[in-house]
Chain A
């Protein structure tokens, strides 16, 4: 059996007196979609930040593809995030000065790809996500759903091994939220991308193969395997 792609082992992280993670353990296999649920302040975003190498736990381990990443330098973790991970957040993730296609092409441009090639690939993703013809628009000219689809295109353009999504539908109405989730799950499955989906909405969590719940900084399994959609 293949091992987990992304994994936390007994992670402990405190912010001053407040313990955000208390021996939290988590794992997601290749192509698996795992929903991380929990009430506000439970530690789910902190767990996502640790898994993505944004924060480093004080104790415990974070592993990606079997390799510890919590011991890497900030620079190495940044490179890892840029090259192997993708991100979709709730809102405000697009650079307002850039056009839609430039926002999507951002990870490729950061990777040093030629601008024309990066934009070509970005336009391909925009077509795929139903945003053809919008490539020259700015983020301020998009609806919430469109902005999330642009963010999804940006998160996926590097063909990441893991996509981290933090409340990706939090600022959308239910119908638009469903459309975004359909697209996200669809492209993730198509690419074989593992998705760590932080949400507190059960109707979003149903898109996942498996759900875990975070309470007071510890992770509990909520459901066993769920069949893929």
Chain B
């Protein structure tokens, strides 16, 4: 029976072969994506797990006899973040540091390969000088998140390390504790996986419907010559399973190519090591066995929906119309996000636990509510239809809205993901961008962790002598710490030399200024600029000199070399400060890069999911045409123009596609607005033109795919179809 089923699948005509190939191709794509998603999650775990040592937690087992004095800080270079660990030996038996052959002695350091290359390709006064001593070796990949990781482990005397704020003694190092909230990335990955995988699963299920009617007639003919229902069911399962087995194998073959692509894409801000991108044997076995098994089960289930008798095929009556309860999950998801407005959980994990279910429930809700909305829309359309094509299309949609929506549900999820991402990202960028001034890129500040009332004259002289430095200014802590008063104070004689930032009130000697002049910390403060009027402070010049220093502000000419040279000078002058010297743009650079990457991912989801969803649509359109070829042919014979039938078919697909595109975008922006209100207290900013262009492009591709099936209508509705014999 199995051999016969296989022969039927591949050797019973072109139509059967095309169907077989389409199912296999859809399964291959699905399996490739499934493997990639599992591999991505595992790579993320591996990436995060391997860098747990940067913020060491005690490991199980006996601690080392001589603990290390340990400080983890960060630094910047060229817009990238460097993780820097300072270690101080307290004896000959320190704990083992992952990725290092030994703990560096004072005057030695280990660097990651990427940082090694960066140091080698830039002048020493821009980067290398920040690491005192000599490079003792390279940190092994096993202790790095990514080939792009910039990490340095610097050996220094223990007392120097102990002087850095936050330094502590470390007697053992566990690599289990992740330093960043993995759940946040899981959120992103689950949303992306949903956006990518769902259209593929829909495509697979739609592909199995291709020429179903013809196949069922063939099975009816077999029943006539004595095949039992069980044998017919087995034949159907063999066909689907064989296609799924070949598709699964092809999916595994496709995976290395997808893996190579994924390894190039910095999902978390850094690329994965290709070796990390492995689904693991357990998932691989489950996928290899599970997909064909699922295909066999799906085929058997599909056969239960039709009753194949020796005298023909009887389809079950029109499916029950969807009920309004389908709207409940969508409403629950939106309500859940609304609930957290003003109730934002304090921790990252708490926020993920709050928002992740909301987004996922909305996605499920969209898929559930879609058929009901399609049905209501179609009924309205039928009631108002003035033209015949609209009436026929509306009736068909209203009759089986589940089938109509199934073919386009991939588009809904893709567009939802993109709308949420675009809405959130556009708003964040807009909100932050509005507060950024051009000065943010050229104003570097040295934050002072500790009380100090003096900046060494030699340092100021050296800074002023550094090419690219335009000015230096010391701001001190404002003794008036009432909430509305400026964070710092500065001497007006100094401020007068930099009118581009603002000017003192007339007659003022000392003025209140925002933190570091460029408002890194206080985002609500007015931004500096030529029109800025610094408020007068009652502090005298003498009192000012005795106040603790808040920041040392250095003006830059905007060249990258000056930027890094000044940072190096400041780091060497204050080697025990925890926060690195940085401009506001440096501080913001990380999140901006990550936002861009998320946007990129969202675009990938849309550009991928829309054409796949378009393919599903094309298959379902083709199946709809073939199923109705006789009534369509007879209508043509009675004088109905072909263009009218084309309009019927086009409307059946395009109307729900465009309607749900609007629904998905509106829901996506609503969810984004709720998230922004709850998490950041922002109001949604409308997306830029690129969003509309991209959406229109995706929809145009989908419509073009639908249009490509229309010639089939002319081919299958010729007079020969109307013949009775």
Q: Mark B601-645, 1 if CB is under 8 A from A, else 0.
A: 000000000000000000000000000101100110111110010
Instruction: Kindly identify, within residues 47 to 106 of chain A, every residue whose CB is under 8 Å from any CB belonging to chain B.
Output: 49, 52, 54-55, 75, 77-83, 85-87, 89-99, 102, 106
B212 CB to closest chain A CB (Å) equals 16
Is there an interface contact between B631 and A40, defined as CB atoms closer than 8 Å?
Answer: no
Interface: B719 (CB within 8 A): yes
Is there an interface contact between B639 and A110, defined as CB atoms closer than 8 Å?
Answer: yes
Cα–Cα, bound, A54→B720 (Å) = 11
Cα–Cα, bound, A189→B552 (Å) = 106
Q: Mark A127-160, 1 if CB is under 8 A from B, else 0.
A: 0000000000010100000000000000000000
A92, A94, A107: residue with the most chain B Cβ atoms closer than 10 Å = A92
Contacts of A52 in B (CB 8 A): 637
Cα–Cα, bound, A115→B725 (Å) = 35
Is there an interface contact between B388 and A109, defined as CB atoms closer than 8 Å?
Answer: yes
Contacts of A110 in B (CB 8 A): 388, 639-640, 644
Is there an interface contact between B637 and A94, defined as CB atoms closer than 8 Å?
Answer: no
Interface: B482 (CB within 8 A): no
Interface: A45 (CB within 8 A): yes
B386, B630, B638, B725: residue with the most chain A Cβ atoms closer than 10 Å = B638
Cα–Cα, bound, A102→B392 (Å) = 9
Interface: B121 (CB within 8 A): no
Interface: B334 (CB within 8 A): no
Q: Given that A55-B719, A97-B399 are known contacts, is A170 also in contact with B637, CB under 8 Å in the complex?
A: no
Is there an interface contact between A75 and B388, defined as CB atoms closer than 8 Å?
Answer: no
Q: Given that A92-B634, A115-B386 are known contacts, is A97 also in contact with B719, CB under 8 Å in the complex?
A: no
Contacts of A89 in B (CB 8 A): 634, 722, 724
Contacts of B395 in A (CB 8 A): 97-99, 102
Q: Given that A90-B724, A94-B631, A170-B724 are known contacts, is A54 also in contact with B637, CB under 8 Å in the complex?
A: yes
Interface: A167 (CB within 8 A): yes
Q: Is the interface of A mostly helix, strand, loop or mixed?
A: mixed
Q: Mark B386-409, 1 if CB is under 8 A from A, else 0.
A: 101001100110010000000000
Is there an interface contact between B630 and A92, defined as CB atoms closer than 8 Å?
Answer: yes
Contacts of A83 in B (CB 8 A): 639
Contacts of A96 in B (CB 8 A): 628, 631
Q: Mark B312-336, 1 if CB is under 8 A from A, else 0.
A: 0000011000000000000000000
Cα–Cα, bound, A115→B383 (Å) = 10
Cα–Cα, bound, A138→B400 (Å) = 14
B22 CB to closest chain A CB (Å) equals 26
B317, B386, B637, B719: residue with the most chain A Cβ atoms closer than 10 Å = B637
A69 CB to closest chain B CB (Å) equals 12
A40, A82, A93, A170: residue with the most chain B Cβ atoms closer than 10 Å = A93
A79, A97, A110: residue with the most chain B Cβ atoms closer than 10 Å = A97
Q: Given that A87-B638, A92-B634, A115-B386 are known contacts, is A98 also in contact with B391, CB under 8 Å in the complex?
A: yes
Interface: B230 (CB within 8 A): no
Q: Mark B363-395, 1 if CB is under 8 A from A, else 0.
A: 000000000000000000000011010011001
Is there an interface contact between B719 and A102, defined as CB atoms closer than 8 Å?
Answer: no
A215 CB to closest chain B CB (Å) equals 16
Is there an interface contact between B639 and A109, defined as CB atoms closer than 8 Å?
Answer: no
B628, B630, B640: residue with the most chain A Cβ atoms closer than 10 Å = B640
Is there an interface contact between A80 and B639, defined as CB atoms closer than 8 Å?
Answer: yes
Cα–Cα, bound, A45→B719 (Å) = 10
Assign chain B's interface to a size class: 20 to 34
Interface: A211 (CB within 8 A): no
Cα–Cα, bound, A223→B226 (Å) = 45
Interface: B715 (CB within 8 A): no
Is there an interface contact between B639 and A45, defined as CB atoms closer than 8 Å?
Answer: no
Cα–Cα, bound, A48→B639 (Å) = 14
Contacts of B724 in A (CB 8 A): 45, 89-91, 166-167, 170
B431 CB to closest chain A CB (Å) equals 50
Instruction: Kindly identify, within residues 164 to 182 of chain A, every residue whose CB is under 8 Å from any CB belonging to chain B.
Output: 166-167, 170
A127 CB to closest chain B CB (Å) equals 22
Q: Mark B276-294, 1 if CB is under 8 A from A, else 0.
A: 0000000000000000000
Contact for A45 among B386, B391, B399, B723, CB less than 8 A: B723
B216 CB to closest chain A CB (Å) equals 16
Contacts of A92 in B (CB 8 A): 630-631, 634
Cα–Cα, bound, A78→B385 (Å) = 23
Is there an interface contact between B386 and A98, defined as CB atoms closer than 8 Å?
Answer: no
Cα–Cα, bound, A79→B628 (Å) = 23
Give B631's nearest chain A residue, CB to CB: A95
Cα–Cα, bound, A167→B723 (Å) = 10
Contacts of A81 in B (CB 8 A): 637-639
Contact for A79 among B386, B631, B634, B639, CB less than 8 A: B639
Contacts of A85 in B (CB 8 A): 638-639
Contacts of B641 in A (CB 8 A): 75, 78
Contact for B719 among A40, A49, A95, A170, CB less than 8 A: A49
Is there an interface contact between A97 and B639, defined as CB atoms closer than 8 Å?
Answer: no
Is there an interface contact between A95 and B392, defined as CB atoms closer than 8 Å?
Answer: yes
B391, B644, B724: residue with the most chain A Cβ atoms closer than 10 Å = B724
Cα–Cα, bound, A128→B719 (Å) = 31
Cα–Cα, bound, A124→B532 (Å) = 83
Is there an interface contact between B639 and A82, defined as CB atoms closer than 8 Å?
Answer: yes
Instruction: Kindly identify, within residues 705 to 725 of chain B, every residue whose CB is under 8 Å from any CB belonging to chain A.
Output: 719, 722-725
Cα–Cα, bound, A91→B725 (Å) = 11
Contacts of A98 in B (CB 8 A): 391-392, 395
Cα–Cα, bound, A102→B631 (Å) = 14
Contacts of A49 in B (CB 8 A): 637, 719
Cα–Cα, bound, A97→B399 (Å) = 7
Contacts of B628 in A (CB 8 A): 95-96
Is there an interface contact between A109 and B391, defined as CB atoms closer than 8 Å?
Answer: yes
Is there an interface contact between A106 and B318, defined as CB atoms closer than 8 Å?
Answer: no
Give B388's nearest chain A residue, CB to CB: A109
Is there an interface contact between A87 and B392, defined as CB atoms closer than 8 Å?
Answer: no
Contacts of B388 in A (CB 8 A): 106, 109-110
A198 CB to closest chain B CB (Å) equals 9
Contacts of B640 in A (CB 8 A): 78, 82, 110
B160 CB to closest chain A CB (Å) equals 82
A21 CB to closest chain B CB (Å) equals 13
B388, B639, B641: residue with the most chain A Cβ atoms closer than 10 Å = B639
Cα–Cα, bound, A66→B385 (Å) = 39
Instruction: Kindly identify, within residues 629 to 665 of chain B, every residue whose CB is under 8 Å from any CB belonging to chain A.
Output: 630-631, 634-635, 637-641, 644
Contacts of B385 in A (CB 8 A): 115
Cα–Cα, bound, A200→B716 (Å) = 26
Cα–Cα, bound, A82→B634 (Å) = 12
Cα–Cα, bound, A203→B681 (Å) = 83
Cα–Cα, bound, A21→B3 (Å) = 45
Q: Given that A102-B391, A110-B640, A170-B724 are known contacts, is A87 also in contact with B317, CB under 8 Å in the complex?
A: no
B445 CB to closest chain A CB (Å) equals 70
Contacts of A87 in B (CB 8 A): 634, 637-638
Give B628's nearest chain A residue, CB to CB: A96
Contacts of A140 in B (CB 8 A): 317-318
Give A89's nearest chain B residue, CB to CB: B634
A170 CB to closest chain B CB (Å) equals 6
Contacts of A102 in B (CB 8 A): 391, 395
A49, A75, A86, A95: residue with the most chain B Cβ atoms closer than 10 Å = A95
B718 CB to closest chain A CB (Å) equals 10
- Other than the given A45-B724, A115-B386, 16 more pairs (CB < 8 A) read A45-B723, A49-B637, A55-B719, A75-B641, A81-B637, A82-B639, A82-B640, A85-B638, A89-B634, A90-B724, A92-B630, A93-B634, A98-B392, A102-B391, A109-B391, A166-B724
Q: Which 5 A-B residue pairs are closest in the complex by CB-CB distance?
A: A82-B639, A81-B639, A97-B395, A92-B630, A97-B396
A-B contact pairs, 26 of them (CB 8 A): A40-B725, A45-B724, A49-B719, A54-B637, A55-B719, A78-B640, A79-B639, A81-B637, A81-B638, A81-B639, A82-B638, A85-B639, A87-B634, A93-B630, A93-B631, A96-B631, A97-B392, A99-B395, A106-B388, A106-B635, A107-B638, A109-B391, A110-B639, A110-B644, A166-B724, A170-B724
